[in-house]
Structure 1
């Protein structure tokens, strides 16, 4: 638990410093684009929250020898493997000039580094014919790289509202930590707890009223560490079903796959072209935003944060059963299918303007006057 506590404290303090010093670095770190197709926030704040999370991970790993009998080098090696993915994201946050393709290549480079340095290469997905192919080393490495890079990018895709990606990844890391504890995998459990604390320190600055955003760097860092812990958990523990990884992380995975299908197949556009048709965006625009006074900054921020609650609850459809049925492929497959069914039904209902009334928040918000001297803005 010291990993969790130290990760939380360091993350909180580093982000406190970033927020308070934003006047010095705001020209680079602020997200001033308030009108982009995927932008739903009300005011500009720094988008380098991932720096605080990465610093918390580094400090916690450096301090581990103080309480761990034999900490080993795996923690440090995994952190070093994350540098390309994290670096590509942070540079994009600061310059807005790193293409999606370049960031994907950075994630692939991190995944390859983990395959070579940590031997984190999947050799099974609990499908007999596929497992035979994965035992061929080049195929196993290529499959692992695609899976890790895909999940790394998927976390960035769901990072659209206050507390959305951060809280969902906290739920996933909590599940990973529980399963790792159940099979006595100290390394995976300690890394999961460290990430749980580090993200928790960020959430206090991001939800419900954001003073900072996760940014691409934070999303890629979290996504990469999550993906690698899932690979290592399955690789090191034969009793953990490979279907656990799919079930516990199905929300970001399916959001990505569905987005590719929607863009390429349905609309005939490039898979990487941004749009405003993600489920979380539709929930905001067609459910939560009803009755919104666009000129009231507090109300806009409140509605933004409410959106995340819908997706937190939806993600639990698969995370909860995956956590307690980690060794049952049938239960894990059922949980995965249940999430997919719930996602598709909710998406179709919103698109067809047939959202159930019980999903609707009250449309009336109390009108709060802006602070003295502040004028309402769009």
Structure 2
């Protein structure tokens, strides 16, 4: 509720802070028609702080390092939202710092990936911490990359957090399940102001923080429960991870900088080329919002599958491969169909 009300307050007071908080309409990836506040990460964090303040001691204790470790990712992202001057490299390093800070506060870092050879290297603590920082930074930036349509990133993180909570509950880790549900609830508070009319955007602060929160929850789950396959965590994040890896590949293939923005992401093409054909008479905002909800719902399926496969590395890896292949096939179909038309 605090997340929802705070989001509304930001919208209603935008004339006072819009000079600093607005996301303008000019830019390669811009799909909105009027300046919009892009500081949606603030109400999500406000909601989490309120939950931390009122939570039972065991749950509050679980949330404390999560919140502290997320400060670099959130702060650098929010600074970009306000100033538009924080480089991609600086933001990547900030999210990696959050991953390393999480280890320093809790002692948890990835010591296994269920990949022979790599697991032996991760027994060495410096390698484990560096790999954890890289993985957390990667997921954080992946969530930022997919944040292109109304409700897309927030719904995707929401479903992934529900999947994480379900697995945690199944293995008896109720505090991790509750912490995941609290963050998911705060995401939902923001979502119902962002979708369908796009009155507020998640922004870099929100997307980086939620990416960190999801990634760190997966780290805790894997490290606390040896019967949970590391590939089940990858399965929960499969769409954003596939998106960022494929984006790097296609930009390299086109001899473009892998960090430069473009309008060739799956969600961008889906909105422009699929939704425009399905709903030719609807406004761009309607096509934007429905496209975001459809693409965001892609995380619902892996969240459900994970509930049945989290103990099996083979099954988790199989579905990782299947869903990645479905993504690539869908991308190919959209591109080829647009060429025909």
TM-score normalized by the length of structure 1: 0.86
- Asked if 1:290 corresponds to 2:277, the answer is yes
- Between the aligned partners of 1:356 and 1:316, the Cα distance in structure 2 is 31
Name the structure 2 match of 1:327.
Answer: 311
Note if contact 2:155-2:293 (Cα within 8 Å) is conserved in structure 1.
no
Flag the 1:335–1:18 CA change in 2: closer, same or farther, 3 A: same
- Alignment gaps of 5+ in structure 1: 1-8, 358-378
- Between the aligned partners of 1:47 and 1:313, the Cα distance in structure 2 is 22
1:156 to 125, 129, 144: 144
- Deviation per residue, 1:281-340 (Å, 9 max, x gap): 1111111123877xx9x7111010121233134334433212322111122112111111
Name the structure 2 match of 1:21.
Answer: 13
Name the structure 1 match of 2:295.
Answer: 311
Note if contact 1:176-1:189 (Cα within 8 Å) is conserved in structure 2.
yes
- Asked if 1:146 corresponds to 2:139, the answer is no
- Between the aligned partners of 1:319 and 1:334, the Cα distance in structure 2 is 15
2:221 to 217, 229, 233: 233
Name the structure 1 match of 2:183.
Answer: 195
Name the structure 2 match of 1:31.
Answer: 23
Note if contact 1:120-1:231 (Cα within 8 Å) is conserved in structure 2.
yes
Aligned residue for 2:256, secondary structure, equals: coil
- Asked if 1:267 corresponds to 2:251, the answer is no
- Alignment gaps of 5+ in structure 2: none
Name the structure 2 match of 1:10.
Answer: 2
1:101-250 correspondence runs (5 A): 101-250=89-238
- Between the aligned partners of 1:228 and 1:81, the Cα distance in structure 2 is 9
Note if contact 1:315-1:339 (Cα within 8 Å) is conserved in structure 2.
no
Note if contact 1:81-1:114 (Cα within 8 Å) is conserved in structure 2.
yes
- Between the aligned partners of 1:206 and 1:303, the Cα distance in structure 2 is 14
Higher helix share: 2
- Asked if 1:58 corresponds to 2:43, the answer is no
- Asked if 1:89 corresponds to 2:77, the answer is yes
Aligned residue for 2:201, secondary structure, equals: coil
Q: Which has the larger radius of gyration?
A: 1
- Between the aligned partners of 1:318 and 1:76, the Cα distance in structure 2 is 28
- Between the aligned partners of 1:191 and 1:166, the Cα distance in structure 2 is 17
Flag the 1:72–1:222 CA change in 2: closer, same or farther, 3 A: closer
Count of aligned pairs between the two proteins: 341
1:340-359 correspondence runs (5 A): 340-353=324-337
- Between the aligned partners of 1:214 and 1:354, the Cα distance in structure 2 is 30
Q: How far did residue 356 of structure 1 move?
A: 12
- Deviation per residue, 1:38-96 (Å, 9 max, x gap): 111122210101100011111111111xxx26446331121011111000001110111
Name the structure 1 match of 2:265.
Answer: 278
CA RMSD of aligned residues (A): 1.9
TM-score normalized by the length of structure 2: 0.96
Q: How far did residue 123 of structure 1 move?
A: 0.5
Note if contact 1:172-1:248 (Cα within 8 Å) is conserved in structure 2.
yes
